[in-house]
Amino acid sequence: MICKSGTPEAGKTTVTLARGKALIVFRRVSARICPNCGETYLDDGVVDELYHAADQAAKAGVEVDVREFHHVWA
pLDDT number for residue 73: 53
pLDDT number for residue 70: 82
Domains delineated in the chain: 9-68 (3.10.20)
Enter the pTM of the model. 0.85
In order along the chain (74 residues), what is the average pLDDT of each group of 10 residues?
80 95 96 92 95 94 94 59
CA atoms within 13 A on the CB side of 29: 27
